[in-house]
Amino acid sequence: MNSKVLQSFAAQDVEGRIALVEGLQGLASSKAADVLFTALGDPHWRVRKAAVEILIQSGAAAELLPGLVERLSDPENAGLRNAVLEVLVALGDRALPSVREALASPDPDVRLFACNILGQIRHPSSVQDLLKVVSDPDENVRTVAVENLGRFSTLEAQHALEGLLDSPDVSLKFLALEALALQGGHVPFASLERLAAHPILRKPVFEVMASGRYPEGLSLLAQGISDQGKSSREAALKAFCATVLAHREQLYERACALVREGMAESALARIQGALSSSDQSVRGAAVRILACSGKPQALDAILALGNDEGVFSALRESLEMLPPEAVSILLDRFDGLSPVAQVVAALAFGKTRCVAALPVLHRCLRSDFGHLLRAAAEAVGELSDERSTEDLVSLLEHPYPDVREAAVGALTRIAKSSVSAVLSRIGPVLDSPLAAARAAAVSVAGRVGTESGAVSRAILALGDPETEVRLAAAQALADSKVPSAATPLCRAIADEDPAVRRAVARGLGAFSGPEAVEALAIALKDPDLWVRCEAAASLGDIGGERALSLLEGVLSDKQAHPALLTRILEVLGQVALEKARQESLGLLSHPEPDVVLAALTVLGKEGKPDAQSARRIGALLSHEHWNVRAHAAALLGRVGTSEARGLIEARLSDERDPLVARSLAEALAQAGGE
């Protein structure tokens, strides 16, 4: 195009420039190049986006690629460089020859961009290209080359990165370790131990070890927790905890000994400082190690975290690691603690099975502080303390739901060894005028119902006038799996409240036999969609010819709700994959995209789709919904046949959506590599 056209383009407003770019669709690449390249550097992002889409949709003919790569060297226009990068990445392996040539550019910025593009396209052959660039004279280019090697999950990339660990260049070793950590690669521990001797490399060594796959490195990580450098210390904290959690039975006692006997007070102070880290995983690791130490100053830090929701889960888990002497300190100091600290201490008494704390916990069960009531209830449940039964039963009538829930859980645990003591005391609550209290008592009776009287009371509650109670009864009886509960639950599938029917449909999956199947057959026709979905899942759990035929019958119903069809495909994909595949082929033409996506997921499960499926999947490359086209492209890439490649190539030249175009390009690269 001549300069007049470019002048006309520049004179347009934003909408005019966008319209002009969109008008280039289908025009010969050589004629459109000048305007498209100009539009890629336009000041307005919408114009740049329009040019990017046109270039991706057209497949950017080969004669345009050198011009695109050349524009990576523009030092003044970041928008242009980023737009070019987006186009080249979306073009995938088509762009590889030109991008590889750019690695030899005299401009280091161009070489840097080329490395990023190769890393985002992730074609296996690019590993060797990037490996050559790690010796680039420009430090930034070397850095980006190694970082992008970490994007590849292949063994070749891992071995290439491991090879860099023998480089005399410390910075290169550092980058290689970071890339290996990102990749999740496994490096021989002997190599990591050697590299950790260099202070600069300790942080990335610990990041590699955060995979938890180095139980032999626990002592090294314990030393790292005491490092002076904050980043190294925090990396060691996370890796230490990940390793202990991954090898709990093997390493638990040793980990406790390393922390309690080998860690100086100054190191503990620095760990305590990590509680203010912005990294949630660092804070969680610090909590666990402080608890493991059991030192007085560590206890004070832990007790202050009772209201910290960000680490409360880690705090609860870590309390069982407290040594006996630390628990004794908590017990001696209990009355002088703040209410929040008392909550933490009460939980600790339960987690460490501290029988000596029972008198204190009994007092806590009469507290006015709801959080302390809940913690005390959990603790006496952990201790299976029968003497707490009466107080726990009284909490079934507490106004706070979480306190009632904790009491139910504790009574259920106590009933495992003292069922008669529990059942004899909840009787009056089963007749309480408060629906919430009756529901809580029914939950206990149903869950511990090894005696006919308890089961009968839970069954009787299925007829309670309050939905809350009937729901609790249905859930408890389903959880109990007591055979005598099957028939009453089957009858409850006709309950007037959909929430109860959902619980029944969900619970019947634990009861085999024709009665449960027929009740679920009724539930498959329930007016409530989610009852039908729960019934489908339970039929899958039960299995058998009758259950599966019911599910197949719904799949053939043209009036069935898409969400139900999707659920059934998921269920069949888990319990009868071949049947699911057969049914999925018929649903590829369903008008709802979610159903088609579920069918595609089934067809791609546990291996490649077969040739017949591939042809049907190929037809979806022109589906009106972008996500269906993208999913279909990904599956065809796994098929890897010349026919599949041809279907992908044919669609790539017409695809207008940049996300789908990228999926097509990635699928083409995968198909070509097989």
Asked if pLDDT for residue 68 goes beyond 90, the answer is no
CA distances from 145 to 83, 112, 280, 479, 623 (A): 21, 8, 30, 55, 38
What pLDDT shows up at residue 269? Answer: 83
pLDDT digits (tens, 9 = 90+) for 544-557: 999 999 999 999 88
pLDDT digits (tens, 9 = 90+) for 590-641: 999 999 999 999 988 877 777 777 888 889 999 999 999 999 998 888 887 8
Q: How confident is the model at residue 534 (pLDDT cuts 50, 70, 90)?
A: very high
C-alpha span between 115 and 104 (Å, rounded): 11
368 contacts 377 by C-beta, under 8 angstroms? no
pLDDT digits (tens, 9 = 90+) for 454-500: 778 888 999 999 999 999 999 988 887 888 889 999 999 999 999 99
Percent of the residues in the chain that have a pLDDT greater than 90, as a whole number: 45
* Structural tokens at position 616: 């049907």
Asked if pLDDT for residue 142 goes beyond 60, the answer is yes
Asked if pLDDT for residue 541 goes beyond 70, the answer is yes
pLDDT digits (tens, 9 = 90+) for 241-289: 999 989 988 988 888 888 888 777 777 888 888 888 888 889 989 898 8
* Structural tokens at position 218: 């626990």
387 contacts 393 by C-beta, under 8 angstroms? no
What pLDDT shows up at residue 672? Answer: 60
Asked if pLDDT for residue 1 goes beyond 70, the answer is no
Question: Among 49-53, 152-156, 509-513, whose mean pLDDT is lowest?
Answer: 152-156
What pLDDT shows up at residue 8? Answer: 66
Question: Among 109-113, 219-223, 264-268, 365-369, whose mean pLDDT is lowest?
Answer: 264-268
Between residues 550 and 667, the one the model is more confident about: 550
Give the residue carrying structure tokens 């190929």.
Answer: 618
What pLDDT shows up at residue 542? Answer: 93
- Tell me how far apart the terminal alpha carbons of the chain are, to the nearest angstrom: 41
Q: How confident is the model at residue 28 (pLDDT cuts 50, 70, 90)?
A: very low
305 contacts 344 by C-beta, under 8 angstroms? yes
> Chain-centre distance of CA 153, in angstroms?
19
